[in-house]
Amino acid sequence: MRTTVADMVARGGYFRCECRIDRQTLEHCVELMRSIPDAVYPNNWETVESIRSEPEAGFLSLTVNRVQGMIDLAKSLAEANRVLESLSPDFRCEDGFAPLLIASDYHQDMGEEILSWLLRAEYLRRTAGGSEAIRVERGRTVTLNPQRRGKHPNPSMTQVIETTDGDSVVIHTLARDHKADAYSVVSRRFVIGDTVETGAYNLVYFGQVKQITSKTIKTEDRHGERKSFTLSAFAETNWNFDLAESRQRNANWSD
């Protein structure tokens, strides 16, 4: 089967295929696969060298998800650059996400803790680095990208959660403004006794914060029903919570 790089990109998916391929297209494939960082596909270099060592064979055993992976990587790098352009324009991601960490260290040195944490959290999310908890001082913890439960543990957005046991929780979120095509930092702080959102369907349901720890937030509604939220669940619901707007929404629905 004769194919082209364009065919491979269009095909996408996650499968292997054997392709009869001309020399020029083979060279394109080599360059294409060479452009994917080893950190993403650790055996990429060996694959490229294997192709080069048998250039006359005319066959290429290609893992097509490598091509799709390159496309996904390019999109992710573009988003990371939007973050840097918005928050730290002196830095830029070209061949990888390391500049996010360099920018994070820079802002840490400048005393800009929140921005530093958010850039590190963005790096972790872009590289599937998981969650990270930092104990700043006794009773105070900073959690970067708290993991979600279930089949999709990776966070849907970059967030940093500051918790002070028995006192307060602060949610910092990298929020994208699609109209401006830029990112900004949105922060919300809640203390014991504050009203928060505990759920929503047609109406928004409220509860009061009763307990705050480095892992969970517990609430109680006006009927005495208690709920316990993981940091990720609480942050996803309340990262941009506005009590007045939520009450207005309920009033509009009731009318």
First-to-final CA distance of the chain: 64
pLDDT of residue 59: 47
pTM over 0.75: no
What is the arithmetic mean of pLDDT over 91-110?
90
Answer whether residue 56 shows pLDDT above 60: no
pLDDT of residue 53: 58
Answer whether residue 213 shows pLDDT above 60: yes
Least confident piece of the model among 22-31, 173-182, 229-238: 22-31
What is the arithmetic mean of pLDDT over 161-170?
95
Answer whether residue 7 shows pLDDT above 50: no
**What percent of the chain has a predicted confidence (pLDDT) above 70?**
67
